[in-house]
Amino acid sequence: MSNKRKVAILGATGAVGQRFIQLLQGHPWFEIEVLAASERSAGKKYGEACNWVMETNLPPEIAEMPVANADVASVEKAGDVDIVFSSLPGDLAGPVEAEFAALYPVFSKASAHRMEKDVPLVIPEINPDHTDLIKIQQKQRGWKGFITTDPNCSTIQLAISLKPLMQFGLNQIIVNTMQALSGAGYPGVASLDIIDNVVPFISGEEEKMEQESLKILGSFNGKSVQNADFQISASCNRVQVKDGHLESVFVKLNEDPSLDEIEAAFTKFKGEPQKLKLPSAPVNPIVVRHEKNRPQPRFDRDTGCGMSVVVGRIRKDPIMSFKYICLGHNTVRGAAGGGILSAELYVAKGLA
């Protein structure tokens, strides 16, 4: 691509915003033009406004960039942008993202618009055709730009692992999560609440997993998305892990494939990003491990540069058809990496 798209990141100082900055370094299609956050940060240099917690150093040129307020006038004053990535808090994202979407393509990590009927909820490997919803959205709302959303972090990895199982007829899913601290943003959960502890509640998370999965794995008939018709029940826990959500998944299928057939379905699974060779696409969206005690967050979260979902412990279940463990990097595939891959898909399809 000769001319790189210039991007603004809203919520640039947070856990996901920092990951966007890290992953966009040297990106072949996108370059960072504007960083925006709250009025607490606006007007400061990024290096002063942000407590950088990524594993790699804060790039010096990013540290020197001014932080803008996360509104259209301030962002436009700070630079000319083509695309907006939003990692704003969910309660704030609704009106702010809508203001941007009237003018720009907005790729949102926030929950505010995910379940609106004319808003795509996209995982590029699963439902690339849902991107066409933006044409309906633009017509209905009279927008020049659009909003497209990524699912919740724990839902993304679950949905990726469920997609290849749909050929066997998904009937019922039960999922129990062990979710990393970075999923709660920065500074997130207070240390005294989580050291020596597991917190068996994450506000709104179970509902998101149960509702979003059905929309993502649903079918688009050119006008609207029909939800997938399996049943799903989620139970979510916060654990003392920095990055990487682990999930125990119990699946009841309509058919009775062997464990080898199930494993083959996981390993063979590829999607549109792999066909199109999108820059952030992992070679294998799902990687299966055979050790009896893997995947583990510390060892496996960076598989496929954090963009692959790692599945292991595939085994029969006495009540359901079978069960497995899956792991995903919540701020890479579950957040910034997923958002960038989605933007790459829209660009490759000529939609952004």
Is residue 297 at the binding interface for ligand NAP, with CB under 6 A as the rule?
no
The piece of 139-147, 168-176, 179-187, 196-204 that touches ligand NAP (CB under 6 A) is: 179-187
Is residue 330 at the binding interface for ligand NAP, with CB under 6 A as the rule?
yes
DSSP classification of residue 125: T
Three-state DSSP class for residue 62? helix
Is residue 334 at the binding interface for ligand NAP, with CB under 6 A as the rule?
yes
DSSP classification of residue 334: I
User: Distances in Å between the alpha carbon of 6 and those of 28, 84, 86, 146, 238?
Assistant: 11, 9, 14, 16, 36
**Residue found by looking up tokens 């058919």 in the block:** 255
CB 269 within 8 A of CB 163: yes
Q: Is 245 a catalytic residue?
A: yes
Which position among 62, 335, 341, 347 is part of the footprint of ligand NAP (CB under 6 A)? Answer: 335
Is residue 211 at the binding interface for ligand NAP, with CB under 6 A as the rule?
no
CB 122 within 8 A of CB 351: no
Residue 139 Cβ, how far from ligand NAP at the closest point, in Å? Answer: 27
Is residue 194 at the binding interface for ligand NAP, with CB under 6 A as the rule?
no
Residue 89 Cβ, how far from ligand NAP at the closest point, in Å? Answer: 5
Q: If we measure between CA atoms, which residue out of 333, 348, 260 comes closest to residue 19?
A: 333
Residue 233 Cβ, how far from ligand NAP at the closest point, in Å? Answer: 21
**Exposure on the CB side of residue 315, measured as CA atoms within 13 A:** 11
The piece of 74-82, 196-204, 312-320, 326-334 that touches ligand NAP (CB under 6 A) is: 326-334
Cβ atoms within 10 Å of 297's Cβ, excluding its own: 22
Residue 299 Cβ, how far from ligand NAP at the closest point, in Å? Answer: 19
Q: How many residues bind ligand NAP (CB under 6 A)?
A: 29
What does the per-residue mask of binding to ligand NAP show for 47-76, with x meaning CB under 6 A?
Answer: -----------------------x------
Q: Is 27 a catalytic residue?
A: no
- Which of 113, 130, 153, 326 is the catalytic position? 153
Which position among 153, 262, 287, 343 is part of the footprint of ligand NAP (CB under 6 A)? Answer: 153
For ligand NAP, the closer of residues 28 and 43 by Cβ is 43
CB 236 within 8 A of CB 154: yes
The piece of 24-32, 106-114, 160-168, 246-254 that touches ligand NAP (CB under 6 A) is: 106-114
Interactions with ligand NAP, residue window 5-44 (CB under 6 A): 11-17, 37-38, 40-41
Residue 332 Cβ, how far from ligand NAP at the closest point, in Å? Answer: 9
Cis peptide before 295 (omega within 30 of 0): yes
DSSP string, 190-248: -HHHHTT--B---TTHHHHHHHHHHHHTSEE-SS-EEPP--EEEEEEEE-S-SS-EEEE
Q: If we measure between CA atoms, which residue out of 326, 131, 152 comes closest to residue 247?
A: 326
Residue 149 Cβ, how far from ligand NAP at the closest point, in Å? Answer: 10
Q: If we measure between CA atoms, which residue out of 264, 267, 265 comes closest to residue 285?
A: 267
Distance (Å, whole) CA 204 – CA 252: 25
Interactions with ligand NAP, residue window 110-139 (CB under 6 A): 110-111
**Residue found by looking up tokens 């909003």 in the block:** 147
For ligand NAP, the closer of residues 70 and 262 by Cβ is 70
Distance (Å, whole) CA 252 – CA 51: 44
Distance (Å, whole) CA 47 – CA 63: 4
Residue 84 Cβ, how far from ligand NAP at the closest point, in Å? Answer: 13
For the annotated catalytic residues, the residue numbers are 153, 245
Residues that bind ligand NAP (CB under 6 A): 11-17, 37-38, 40-41, 70, 87-90, 92, 109-111, 153, 182-183, 185-186, 330-331, 334-335
